[in-house]
Amino acid sequence: MIDVAGIVADAIDQALRIPIDFHSLAATGKIRVSSQQRFCGGQTATAMSACAALGLRARYIGVFGSDAGGRRMRAELAGRGIDLSFAVDGRGPNAGAVIVVDNAGRRTVLWDRDERLRLSPDQIPDDSLRDARLIHVDDMDTSVSLQACAMAAALGIPVTSDIEQITSDAERLARAVTFPIFDHHAPSVLTGEADPERALRKLRRLNSGLLCMTLGEKGAAVLDGDAIHFAPAAKVTTLDTTGAGDVFRAGFLYGLLQGWTVPELLRFANAAAAVSCTRQGAIASVPSRSEVEQLFRDTSHGSSTLGRKDAENS
């Protein structure tokens, strides 16, 4: 069996580092880059790479470009032991992104993709999902992700998600998956609530399962039934946050498949994301399981858990 099958985004990233922070860049309007490199990345491709590094049997279902970038992307994932039996070779240049990283490690992503590289729902055969224990989707092509969710439901396979973009289909995707994992800004935009707990409680109307959101340098939060769990981020010296959210999701998936408690899987996912922040690039920053386990053990802080009454009284 495959532990996790991931759909759908990969990209070749051009990473540009600047020697100042974004606020200073906005004020000056111009700055010379201090370095530039090309890395392999993309939401789901990075998450599957991290899953493989953690010891899970991972499959990637997506479209590679017909150019050198596409060949590099395919070779990168194959070299990491990821099953590409159902990946598609498309026509056109591989999807790509320009990622600007400031001197604090914060990043801004500008991405583009040739429409000929869009995966269609009929390019996901039942056999690509049937042997998976878990399916992971992103929000790059919601029609494809929703199709995968419907197929997974028919097969009785749970689905996790990467929800970053606030589109008209964001709520549909949150309803369709088993475990929605939101980027830090998404819940507040969807609900109008700036407070993470209030936002997650409002999102309960969409899904009765675990609701997770990343909180950047503050860690992550999960609403489990009526209980809210917060886990602070592991403290590291941040070089580049590119891919950290995708690596977090891989750590979360790993914990789910191990049957861990919510506090345990949150701490592990935070540790995985933290290690990735100490390196440049997306897939290039993926940590090994031993590295994550070491930081997990060294993390002295724990998660805090509040029920509704405690939260209301705090």
Whether 62 is covered by a domain: the verdict is yes
pLDDT at 113: 95
Q: How far is the C-alpha of 249 from the C-alpha of 214, rounded, in Å?
A: 9
Total length of the chain:
314
Domain extent, residue 180, equals 2-11+41-95+119-313
Could you report the per-residue pLDDT of 107-116, keeping only the tens digit for each? 999 999 999 9
Domain CATH code at residue 254: 3.40.1190.20
pLDDT at 173: 96
Confidence of residue 300 (pLDDT cuts 50, 70, 90): low
Question: Hunting for tokens 């060949």 — which residue is that?
Answer: 71
Could you report the per-residue pLDDT of 214-248, keeping only the tens digit for each? 999 999 999 999 999 999 999 999 999 999 999 99
Whether 49 is covered by a domain: the verdict is yes
How many domains does the chain contain in total? 1
Whether 297 is covered by a domain: the verdict is yes
Whether 278 is covered by a domain: the verdict is yes
Confidence of residue 165 (pLDDT cuts 50, 70, 90): confident
Whether 79 is covered by a domain: the verdict is yes
Whether 277 is covered by a domain: the verdict is yes
Could you report the per-residue pLDDT of 71-105, keeping only the tens digit for each? 999 999 999 999 999 999 999 999 999 999 999 99
Could you report the per-residue pLDDT of 16-46, keeping only the tens digit for each? 999 999 999 989 889 999 999 999 999 999 9
Q: Which amino acid does the sequence have at 300?
A: S
* Predicted model pTM: 0.93
Whether 104 is covered by a domain: the verdict is no
Could you report the per-residue pLDDT of 183-206, keeping only the tens digit for each? 999 999 999 999 999 999 999 999
Whether 295 is covered by a domain: the verdict is yes
Confidence of residue 282 (pLDDT cuts 50, 70, 90): very high
Q: Residue 59 above 70 pLDDT?
A: yes
